[in-house]
Chain A
Amino acid sequence: MGSILSVKNLAKTYKSGTNTLTVLQHIDFDIEEKSTVAIVGPSGSGKTTLLGLCAGLDRASSGDVILNNINLNKLNEDERAWIRNQHVGFIFQNFQLLSTLTALENVMVPLELRGANNIKKTAMELLEKVGLQDRASHYPSQLSGGEQQRISLARAFSNSPKILFADEPTGNLDTETGERVERLLFDLNREAGTTLVLVTHDLELAAKTQRVIRLKGGKLLSNAE
């Protein structure tokens, strides 16, 4: 199977006055299509920064991120937005639903952006899959945390992404709800044949993926299957 994501000698530094803060350095790895990968590490190890770079949310200071054979570092922000819409799905720790849109509309947005057909039907099917078809017309503020994350899952899969990035997807949920969301995430992933990259503190969750990338102090500690 070919590589969907290739990270080569990646580094990220921030300038603060005269000081330079290195958040990530010498990061190299490849992720195969349809695989599941967890990025773990203590707080401040650079997990979220790495996720942002891999998903094209940010630009690396040096090195390359090649997503679906496209070098993200050579694209401008609007070109990366296009890549995200075409190939990438996101799940966030704090759900990040658009508060002014209903559950259904939140799921529809990526499809609308692509100019897809049968948008409403597709979005409703996804809501059914996450068991929230009855909540389609509710606004995020009218939903519980678990429900919001399930809407977020439906939205993430709506554009049939090649790769899905999840940042602490169960971090804001209680154990029971978290487990339910986890199950749903892996089921949908399997069904859609999507590559899953998730960042987590939760080693139990990480253990459910095929491969774990460990970070510490901005460096790659291990990259084990």
Chain B
Amino acid sequence: MQSNDQTSYATKTNFWWILKMALRDSRKNKSRLLLFISSIVLGIASMVAISSFSDNLKTDIDLQAAELIGADLVVDSRKELSQEAQHLVDSLKSISSAFAEEKSFASMALFEKNGGNRLVDIRALGGNFPFYGKLETVPESAEGSFRSGKNALVDKTLMLQFNAEVGDQVVIGNQKFTIAGALTNAPGQSGISSSVAPAIFIPLAYLESTGLLQKGSRVSYNFYYQFPKTTDVDNILEKLDTPFELEGLDGETIQMRKESTGRSFEDLTGFLSLVGFIALLLGCIGVSSAIQIYIREKLNSIAILRCLGVSSRQAFLIFLIQVAGIGLIGSVLGAALGVIIQQLLPVVLQDLLPVAVSNDLSILAIAKGIALGVFISILFALLPLIGIHTISPLNTLRLSYEENNGHKNKYRTLVYGLIILFVLLFARMQLDGWFQTLAFTAGVLLGFLILYGVSLLLVKLVKKYFPHSWSYLWRQGLSNLYRPNNQTVIMVMAIGLGTAFIATLFFVKTLLISQLSFSAGSNQPNMVLFDIQSSQKQEVLNLVNKENLPIIQEVPIVTVQLESINGYNEAAVRKDSTIGLSPRSFGRELRVTYRDSIISSEKITDGLWIGEVGQGDTARVSLEKEYAERAGLKIGDHLVYNVQGLMVPAIVGSFREVDWNRVQTNFRLVFPKGVIDDAPQFHVIMTRTPNSEASAFQLAVVQQFPTVSIIDLNLILTILDEILDKIGFVIQFMAALSILTGIIVLIASVMISKYQRVRESVLLRTMGASRKQILTIAAMEYLFLGTLAASAGILIALLSSWALAVFSFELPFVPNILLILSLFVGVSALTVVIGIFNSTALLNRTPLEVLRKED
């Protein structure tokens, strides 16, 4: 009987009544609930913006893939084509409907009008490439007109840099070209690629006359094909896999470009999503903390409802629905903001993108963002909501309730488990593999745990070593850190995480720049002259000496290919995998040097270095350790190198560790003197010019030796700075969202603690505390919180930057003290300002007004 009654009671008090109660209960808490939801708005906004942008990018890459590559198939080779390779290229040409050819390499360009010169990417083009899309030029007609005659298309950034105009002359090697137009876009080109190596297109027919194609020059040979629509290009390429590998040819189809471009941008958007996700997690912790206090304040209401016959499940659902509603409103607001941010992302990222990205609304991304927001709000609110189960109706009679901790802890563990699982699965969706996923999840957990641990430690230490001798105001401010309803943990987490983010960003950027600046330091070379022919070497050295510049390094470079290892050639190694050698070591061109000693960037790790070869002896070469390991080579192995057609035997004499980060010419393979000294070679000379003389010296070299190329490290430094600025801006943009979220959580936390402290402040005021005294108490509390959170955040940033420096960039990490101090002071001051600002709002009202309002 009772059971039946109960069933009908449960059915009657159905979902709609619970929903109605949830709505009724939230009516008078609107402003407070709005404060909670603001924590997740930015997180959701960034997720929606990035996800929409990513969806559009995918679609646009699909739509524009053909224009990205410009042809149905591109075949490229890093070395001059052998007969067999030429045959393969020709056989593809015979079945194609259009064909074009390109030779590209780095060389100097000299703008005759004003002597401006710079290392550029020369692209000598024959045929009507691109077949899809076009070379975008100003004037538009230049795209066609440059192809006939001694004309050139010059990258627009170069034109701007050297004030060049259409009709001016640009000297490339021994040939002058008339600038037909400015190149604004070419297939697959992005803003960054053109700033690193700006391109100059010239007709292939005039390449020979530049005199730049010499033995040993680093030339890339590209062949572009267009096929009839019915041709299965991917299938053709698959069949050519083996002969291509044998001949050192690489092929790429539209589909392959689509996939590789898509993959690299998936990495980028995945990374940005994770940054946004951290902002969202931060917001959710804010929501969780706010809900905890909200529920604590609702203790009496819940007890009354329980008295009136509401079951614990119903009470739980009333507040769960409120949280879901908050989450929904926050997510919808976030999604709307996300749509606005999405319009900005293509602008922010445009220099990194190879395609024009549209701004279409992605309904899927918006729906996913809203669903994520609601889900994550509920997930994080479950922690405080679990407590509702233990609220007894007895609270209506007296406000002390016994918690069933065992029961609560069981659910709490379950919710923590769910949160970790959710973070793990979400990260897995954005990242490539489980290792990265676990590393990200562990990193996030570690960050949160450090901040949590630090805040708990603070509370414990303050309690234990409380400075009783301090003045009342200081003591009151300090004791607020551990008194009931304190916000220490959540505020340290919110501020700390935001600080950690921005500090890591600054540290890494400073690290990379300082490393390069160090490389370009006073005793390091800052100008590299290369492609110097043997016949030019002495004259170039004379020029350097004449300009009173130091010759820091002078290195001969010879191009060789590995022919055999211990008698096994490439075919034998491919045939028998038990030999344990890598077939990839063969056939590739290696640029090597010869000398009689090792240099400061090298260290012999195994074997013995012998700098000279005696008459009739076999050369004992030195290999870079990692290269030797990859090739499967051991000390004592017998090698044969093809040195420009001459077979030269050698024995592996030693392994070297090489510091590649030094501004020096470093080599995988070094011959001793006396073996390849007479082989065809070119030379590299490194010098150091004062900044003021760099351009004049470059001009002198280019005018006298047009085929010699120059790398100006100062220019590289400037370009790297620009690139880091561009990438940094994107990351800063995302980090700003995290920091803003942190600030919103901070404001929300401060406001909530204000609600907690309101009676106390009013009591203090009624007892005669002045406005200044109350503000001092607040300032003290936020000063302690801000300094602690900033310290913890900077500590995390130092740890993560150190790990990035050592494990990822392989650089020593030296923290920038000034930067640390600035961040510390900035974050602490911001916390105090926000804290005081909120307290001021409270003080502007009379005590009675406040009490009535809070009642």
Which residues from chain A sit less than 8 Å from chain B, CB to CB?
Answer: 48, 51-52, 57-58, 70, 77-79, 81-82, 84-86, 90, 92, 96-101, 105, 109-110, 112-115, 139, 141, 155, 167
Taking a contact as CB atoms under 8 Å apart, the answer to whether A81 and B394 are in contact is no
Taking a contact as CB atoms under 8 Å apart, the answer to whether A100 and B25 are in contact is yes
What are 9 of the A-B contact pairs (CB < 8 Å)?
A: A58-B394, A82-B5, A86-B309, A100-B24, A100-B26, A113-B17, A113-B309, A114-B13, A167-B397
Given contact pairs A84-B309, A109-B305, enumerate 12 new A-B contacts (beta carbons under 8 Å): A48-B398, A57-B394, A81-B306, A90-B308, A98-B304, A99-B28, A100-B24, A101-B24, A112-B20, A113-B9, A115-B12, A141-B852
Chain A nearest CB from B455 CB (Å) reads: 29
A52–B311 Cα distance when bound, in Å, is 17
CB-defined contacts of B312 to chain A, threshold 8 Å: 77-78, 81
A48–B303 Cα distance when bound, in Å, is 16
Taking a contact as CB atoms under 8 Å apart, the answer to whether A113 and B310 are in contact is yes
Taking a contact as CB atoms under 8 Å apart, the answer to whether B394 and A110 are in contact is no
Residue among A79, A81, A92, A139 facing the most chain B CB atoms (10 A cut-off): A81
CB-defined contacts of A115 to chain B, threshold 8 Å: 8-9, 11-13
B773 contacts partner chain A, Cβ-Cβ < 8 Å: no
CB-defined contacts of B2 to chain A, threshold 8 Å: 70
A113–B10 Cα distance when bound, in Å, is 8
Asked whether A57 and B396 contact (CB < 8 A) given A81-B306, A86-B5, A115-B9, the answer is yes
Chain A nearest CB from B300 CB (Å) reads: 7
Nearest A residue (CB) for B315: A81
Asked whether A82 and B311 contact (CB < 8 A) given A57-B394, A98-B304, A100-B301, the answer is yes
A112–B24 Cα distance when bound, in Å, is 13
B205 contacts partner chain A, Cβ-Cβ < 8 Å: no
Chain B nearest CB from A77 CB (Å) reads: 6
Which among A96, A101, A141 is the interface contact of B307 at CB below 8 angstroms? A96
Taking a contact as CB atoms under 8 Å apart, the answer to whether B9 and A85 are in contact is yes
A167–B307 Cα distance when bound, in Å, is 13
Nearest B residue (CB) for A109: B308
A58–B5 Cα distance when bound, in Å, is 22
Taking a contact as CB atoms under 8 Å apart, the answer to whether A57 and B6 are in contact is no
Q: Contact string, B11-23, partner A, CB cutoff 8 A, digits 1/0?
A: 1110001001100
Chain B nearest CB from A166 CB (Å) reads: 12
CB-defined contacts of B398 to chain A, threshold 8 Å: 48
Taking a contact as CB atoms under 8 Å apart, the answer to whether B29 and A84 are in contact is no
B693 contacts partner chain A, Cβ-Cβ < 8 Å: no
CB-defined contacts of B855 to chain A, threshold 8 Å: 141
Within 8 A of A (CB), among B1-59: 2, 5-6, 8-9, 11-13, 17, 20-21, 24-29
Chain A nearest CB from B19 CB (Å) reads: 12
Taking a contact as CB atoms under 8 Å apart, the answer to whether A85 and B308 are in contact is yes
A92–B393 Cα distance when bound, in Å, is 12
B392 contacts partner chain A, Cβ-Cβ < 8 Å: yes
Sorted from nearest, which 7 A-B pairs have the closest CB atoms? A115-B12, A85-B309, A78-B311, A100-B28, A57-B393, A100-B25, A84-B309
Chain B nearest CB from A78 CB (Å) reads: 4
Taking a contact as CB atoms under 8 Å apart, the answer to whether B309 and A81 are in contact is yes
B464 contacts partner chain A, Cβ-Cβ < 8 Å: no
CB-defined contacts of A97 to chain B, threshold 8 Å: 304
Q: Contact string, B292-307, partner A, CB cutoff 8 A, digits 1/0?
A: 0000000011011111
Taking a contact as CB atoms under 8 Å apart, the answer to whether B6 and A113 are in contact is no
Taking a contact as CB atoms under 8 Å apart, the answer to whether B9 and A82 are in contact is yes
Asked whether A112 and B309 contact (CB < 8 A) given A57-B394, A57-B396, A98-B301, the answer is no
